């Protein structure tokens, strides 16, 4: 039953995307070129609606059962409505942030999706979050939601990276026997892949905030369901799975602090911008980031099987390589290269 539903979900996405493209032009949900954007013509940007409708068809057919299922779906509907309105009217950032918090609260308070504690990795006992349980959970959901949105800057980038994350989450859920996460992540994966046919370079339609915010929201929630209340070491797994969008968001925040700019200020120094400036083509940049995202997914799987000291060593190596990569391509600015300068200094002595 699940396999037929997945096939149908994929076909629906392929059939619905061209219809949503026509709708986007009719309602004015278009993305116009400017100095921050790579595309050079007006593009429809309501594509996330095709992903959502296809996913919803799959959900209604398969009807996965879980206590927090309907709160998740209601929260997702709130995000979809927010994204559609933003794609049409360009809503203020503060309003979008408030609505995202509201959607997260639906899942947290009604659905009971919360990270209450993590077990200590160095012995018995657990670390309870107490009063910080709800704020930490909301911060995770809203943070990942916006992280996916931030990387949506090239044809097929957000859809591809999200697909890799969903594939990894579904695969890890198989190991953990979480049938709900397997079903929902798989349905969302095939719906996204159907849309990606029209979104890969050269794109015929963008997913817009409708798609990026919804994918970010669902990935955040599914990651919580798959890895909540586990050891501190295992808690890093969803962070690794989302390594590309989360690291890009972290470096963007740090870069703006270094440059004494508002954290929400837009710029052209995100990962994809830096790779384009380094001489990679549009398609090469997207494929390279796919490879990086897949590598993070592979590291997450290896990490989950490692012993504690092996896991700590692995995360140390990942952080070191990430910092080197960020400095080489200029994610923190061309002049910010503390590690590279130290290595060069040692090489010259």
Stretches where the chain sits below pLDDT 70 are 34-40, 117-126, 227-235, 346-349
pTM of the model: 0.91
For residues 19 and 50, give the distance between their C-alpha atoms in angstroms, rounded to a whole number.
8
**43 - beta bridge partners?**
31
At 125 the pLDDT is 61
The length of the chain is 349
Q: Structurally, how many domains does the chain consist of? A: 1
At 16 the pLDDT is 98
For residues 148 and 154, give the distance between their C-alpha atoms in angstroms, rounded to a whole number.
12
At 311 the pLDDT is 79
* 3-state SS class at 69: helix
Give the residue numbers spanning the domain of 79: 2-348
- List, in order, residues 6 or more apart from 123 with CB less than 8 Å away: none
At 225 the pLDDT is 87
Q: Are 73 and 236 in contact (CB under 8 A)?
A: no
- List, in order, residues 6 or more apart from 134 with CB less than 8 Å away: 108, 109, 114
Which contacts of 309-314 are long-range, i.e. CB under 8 A and separated by 24 or more positions? 311/233, 311/236, 312/233
Phi and psi, residue 248, nearest 5°: -60, -40
At 330 the pLDDT is 87
Tokens 């997702």 sit at which residue? 76
SS3 content of the chain, % helix, strand, coil (to 5): 70, 5, 25
For residues 33 and 44, give the distance between their C-alpha atoms in angstroms, rounded to a whole number.
12
At 32 the pLDDT is 82
Tokens of 39: 């595309």
Dihedral of the alpha carbons of 51, 57, 61, 67, in degrees to the nearest 10: 70
At 334 the pLDDT is 78
At 35 the pLDDT is 64
């Amino acid at each position: 039953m699940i396999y037929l539903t997945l096939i149908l979900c994929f076909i629906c996405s392929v059939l619905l995307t061209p219809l949503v493209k026509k709708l986007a032009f009719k309602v004015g949900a278009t993305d116009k070129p400017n100095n921050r954007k790579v595309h050079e013509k007006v593009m429809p940007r309501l594509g996330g609606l095709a992903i959502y409708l296809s996913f919803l068809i799959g959900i209604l057919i398969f009807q996965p059962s879980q206590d927090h299922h309907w709160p998740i779906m209601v929260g997702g509907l709130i995000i979809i409505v927010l994204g559609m309105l933003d794609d049409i009217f360009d809503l203020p950032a503060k309003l979008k942030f408030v609505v995202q918090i509201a959607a997260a609260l639906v899942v947290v308070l009604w659905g009971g999706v919360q990270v209450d504690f993590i077990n200590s990795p160095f012995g018995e006992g657990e670390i309870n979050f107490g009063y910080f349980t709800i704020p930490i959970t909301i911060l995770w959901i809203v943070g990942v939601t916006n992280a996916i949105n931030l990387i949506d800057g090239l044809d097929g980038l957000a859809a591809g990276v999200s697909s890799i994350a969903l594939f990894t989450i579904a695969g890890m859920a198989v190991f953990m026997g979480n049938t709900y996460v397997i079903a929902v992540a798989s349905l969302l994966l095939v719906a996204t892949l159907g849309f990606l046919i029209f979104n890969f370079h050269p794109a015929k339609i963008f997913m817009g905030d409708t798609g990026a915010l919804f994918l970010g929201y669902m990935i955040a929630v599914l990651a919580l369901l798959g890895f909540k209340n586990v050891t501190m070491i295992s808690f890093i797994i969803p962070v690794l799975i989302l390594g590309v969008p989360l690291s890009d968001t972290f470096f963007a925040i740090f870069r703006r602090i270094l440059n004494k700019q508002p954290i929400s200020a837009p710029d052209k120094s995100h990962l994809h911008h830096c790779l384009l400036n380094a001489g990679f083509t549009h398609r090469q940049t997207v494929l390279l980031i796919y490879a990086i995202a897949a590598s993070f997914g592979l590291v997450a799987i290896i990490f989950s099987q490692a012993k504690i000291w092996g896991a700590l060593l692995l995360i140390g190596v990942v952080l070191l390589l990430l910092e080197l990569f960020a400095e080489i391509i200029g994610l923190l600015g061309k002049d910010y290269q503390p590690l590279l300068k130290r290595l060069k200094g040692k090489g010259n002595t």
